[in-house]
Structure 1
Amino acid sequence: MKYLHLSNFNISKVLIFIAFCLFNIFGSQSMEPIVAQDSKEYYKEAETAFESGNYDNSIIYANKAKNLLGRTNPKIESLLMQAYYKNGDIVKAKIAYETFLKVTPPQKQSSELFESYKKTGALIDSAFNELERKYQQQKIDKQKEVENVAIGNEKKQRQKDNDKQEDLKTKKENLERRLFLKAKKSIDPVVLKAYKENFPNSYFSEKTQDLIDILDVKDDLPLAENREASFRGGSANFYKWLSHYIIYPLKARQMGVEGTVHVSFTVLKDGNISAIEISEGASYFKEEVIRVMNMSPKWIPAKKNDEFVEERKTIAIDFKFG
């Protein structure tokens, strides 16, 4: 009994060992065909989908076959490159085509099938090159757009700066004009000199100097006991002064009216003038003559028996075009 018990125990161990060996032999062999069978089925599904025009599913099943195998092969890559190309995904088609060329053994690269795939590959290359050309053109266009925006912004800034400078220039000119008119209205050579010193490059600088020359004339008449009243610098200087202040009346200019006005006034003992009257001349000019004569600087008063006296004067003022 003891012998039989030991024999049964040994037989059990032997049977277990045999079963383990059989499992390793036949079991491991049976697993590999299952994987291969699944990848083949996925590939067939991919082919069927491609033939029916369902390129999305063809790509999905082809990639499943590749993933299940853990590697790729020329059949899978050739199918992928065609499906991607048909689907319009040129970049992935290009990758699949390049992979196809790498994994195809040299001895099979002379086959008609390989040559037919190369024709498709040529179409892929052409489409990829066109895509690359468009991409590069887009980059160039984008760069140009950026440059144009930068140029546009620069122009706007430059225009803004120019406008600012023009605005400052206009403001400066307006200030110079206001101060010039104020200095001119003063009929004072001291004020005019001050203006010229402060604005030596002013547009009105030349006119200012003319007025200074007219007004800043010394009384160099002989110290006679008797003399007539006169404008400093003589009658020519008076008419020069008058030309800076008198304005041709707009209505007379519009109607083309010319004429001569005779104005009478009294030169007082202190050189001021008063009692301005228009003795003769067109009515268009009367108001302007009176306005300007009221602005006249002091005259050199008349003398009689070595004493200053009042004197009545009459002068003619011409209004002519040109």
Structure 2
Amino acid sequence: SSSSPVVSQTELSTNLVSGTSSINNLVSPSVNTNTSVPSTSSIAVTTHSPMSSGVTDLARTTTRSVSIETGTRNRTNLREISPSMQRQGLNDTSSSSPYALLNQSTNAIVTDNLRVQHQREKQELSELNDRFRGYLDRVKILENKNAKLTGQLEDITKSWGAASQAIVAQYAGPLDNLRQEVNDSMIDEADLQTRLRRSHYTIDNYRSLINDETAWNDRQEEKREQLKLEYEHSCAELAALQKSYKQVEDQLKNLLQQREQYLNEIDQLNDQSYKATIDRIKLDLQVQTLREEIPFLNDVHAHLLNEFEQLKPTNGIDTQLFYRQELEKAIRDIRRDFET
């Protein structure tokens, strides 16, 4: 089937290198060496299926076995060097210090521990080598399966490609026509939707304009009603003012008539005053004249009295008393006329 694993040596090599580095990190704390790890050749296998986990374990096991083998060699070199170092230490310290016995016992314990650890690691290395051989066999089996599946996949691809090419050649023209029709219909639909949105926008715009116009008309109607009320109130005030004006005009006419009457009366009074003044002046002149005439008349009267005295008969009539009474009577008449 198409989901079968496909083996790639390059990808498995990459996984083996990464697994080697991780195993070195795990094994290196237990082995104290200063030598570098020798390079090893391995078969790189990877899959795109669940089998990849087993191949990865194989790579990790291979790397671990190589690392353990390297550590074992390093410890063997250390063991080969340690007897000479021990002999040199014994020769140096046998006659110099009481600590020589302690160092010998310590070296013996370390040597025994290293020997036991070497045997255990050798056994583990043998087991790991057996497992590694098993994994190599499994990798070969997977490679064979992968080759078979790859061939089957190529055959299926070739047969499927020919049938699909025939189907494509048969239905390519109608599909292109249908695709063109679908594209045209989608373009028409987009155009219609655009026009529809534009019409909705235009409708909303006109609706907004109508609402604004209606609100403006309502405000203008309210203003007209208010102006109508103000006009009616102004008309009532104008009628009242006209009525008041007529009343004032009538009063003014009456006042003008009264003024004319008063002016006529004033003219008459002025005339009368003028006449009275003239008469008074005349009377004053007359009084002045009479006052001036009185001394003259008195002189004349006295002169006449003297003449009458000379001409007076001897019968005893008092003429002086008679003329005096007549003079007083004339003076009273003149004074009465002047006062009136």
TM-score range with shorter-chain normalisation? under 0.3
More strand by share: 1
Larger Rg: 2
More helix by share: 2
TM-score (norm 1): 0.27
TM-score (norm 2): 0.25
Higher relative contact order (CA 8 A, sep 6+): 2
